[in-house]
Amino acid sequence: MGITNSNKVVNASRIDCDGSLLVTLSITAAPDIIANPTDIVLMLDRSGSMTGTPLSNMKTGAKTFIDIIAEATGGTASGEIGSGSGIGIVSFASTATDDTQIITSVDTLKNAVDSLTAGGNTNHADAFSKAMGLFDPQSNNVKVIVMFTDGNTTVGLPPAPVAEQAKAQGIIIYCIGLIGSDGLDVDALNQWATAPAAAHVAVTPDAADLEELFKELAENITKPGATNIVINEIVNPDFVITSVQNPNYGTATMLNSTSLRWNIPQLGVSASESAQLEFYIRHNSQNPGTKKVNQSITYQDEEGNVVSFPDPTVSVECDIVVNPEECPIPVDLSVEGCSDAVLVDMGDTYLESLGRIIQMDVKIKNVCPGKRVALAAILTEVDADGMEYQRGMKAMTIPAHNYSTCRDVLVKCIKFVVPEDLDVSGSSTTAMCNQRNFKARFIAHNIDTDYRCCEYELTL
């Protein structure tokens, strides 16, 4: 399976315009045996030629094999082979014996290996038959036979047809050979094993190599999740990367303000492992909206795993920003390297008006006591042809007075700001002191009244 999970999340669904986000990348890799539970039968030679060091080294190798499978399936702590896999032991000499069924107990399996004693001839066919009999034909688990022998067949039926029958049933056969005192037919091992033989047969003349051969085979069966991982992350140009935390696996390097690279030498080689990288990004634009965090993210490894990451979004809320005036065009100047001062003629610059402020007072006539007044002021500008242009309107509430009779009320300081770029005077000059013509209108009416609309009762 290789990579079993990949994810990318952010810690917020919305941020302010200059807000920051914590981005978390994570991937999980596991040996294939976790995603594809496997039943394995260790078919171990205990014939007389195995007496002494060969048997001892074979036992060490077989137990190392069991430990690696247990670790790869996540069952080490409990002493059980996990993730739905199991191992069985078949040993053989003149005849074969089922020393265990396909089970998960590491201790039981190791005890069965330790209890083996050498003696007798070599019957490979019976061993293959007994090993095939341990598999449940109804199980969907991958089925594997690991056959170890140090010699040629001396009794029993020809083993090749039985091995072919096993392969026809979908059983994968690995062969480990030790060139013992009676010699070893390597061609026979190549014939019995699943093709290609180069990937399924290992032979050594030295019993000291057996542990390493069993170890390598166990690692091959479990298969690495991923090696030489390279993840390249480029964030949306509206964001910048502000910091990158140290990942729990591998190293992360910030390439520039919007991209980083995460390298992981290996992950999930012998057991399921999860790698995580956290980094912070900050929004670096004035444009609001729902935005993707990624511009792109790519993944590659030696095994060719195909991995995709989610594409999270975040809602960015920005204030409306208006730049009503452009900055002046700069004038270039330079100071020589050995000079302490420079005299530069910067040319002319002009005063720029901020506009006109029109402040008006108006008197509202005959306002009765206890009556609030609504007042509207409307300002227009008049061009040379007498056309009027709206320049603003204000509405305000004038508080009631408590005098005994109606009084005039003076409303002071009603202000309008009229920018200079709205000038419609029609003058041919561009000076900021052009005459500008305006009209002001006022509308006032009582808010409070004793009037009530006619009340009536509808009778049906």
* 108, amino acid identity: T
pLDDT for res 3: 84
pLDDT band at 11 (very low <50, low <70, confident <90, very high): very high
Give the predicted TM-score (pTM) of the model. Answer: 0.56
Question: In whole angstroms, what is the distance from residue 262 CA to residue 439 CA?
Answer: 69
Chain segment 131-154, per-residue pLDDT in tens: 999 999 999 999 999 999 999 999
What Rg, from alpha-carbon coordinates, does the chain have? Answer: 45
pLDDT band, very low/low/confident/very high, at 1 (cuts 50, 70, 90) = low
Kindly report the average pLDDT of the chain as a whole number.
90
Name the segment(s) of the chain with CATH classification 3.40.50.410.
33-222
Do 400 and 370 contact (CB within 8 A), yes or no?
A: yes
Contact 278, 245 (CB under 8 A): yes
Q: Is the pLDDT of residue 250 over 80?
A: yes
Q: Are strands 289-292 and 20-30 parallel, antiparallel or unpaired?
A: unpaired
Task: Give tens-digit pLDDT for 176-221.
Answer: 999 977 789 999 999 999 988 887 999 999 999 999 999 989 988 8
Length of the chain: 460
Question: Does CATH number 2.60.40.680 belong to domain 2-31+225-317?
Answer: yes
Q: Where in the chain is the domain with CATH 2.60.40.680?
A: 2-31+225-317
* pLDDT at residue number 380: 96
3-state secondary structure of 126: helix
Instruction: Give residue 230's identity as a one-letter amino acid code.
Output: V
How far is it, in rounded angstroms, from Cα 58 to Cα 50?
9
Q: Omega of the bond prior to 196 within 30 degrees of 0, cis?
A: yes
Structure-block tokens of residue 434: 């052009």
CA distance 176 to 186: 10
The CA–CA distances, whole Å, from 422 to 8, 357, 402, 429, 432 equal: 52, 13, 43, 14, 12
- The CATH architecture assigned to 33-222 reads 3-Layer(aba) Sandwich (3.40)
Closest CA to 28 of 47, 6, 43: 6
Tell me which of 3 and 323 has the higher pLDDT.
Answer: 3
Position 171 pLDDT exceeds 90: yes
> How would residue 417 be classed by pLDDT, with cut points 50, 70 and 90?
very high
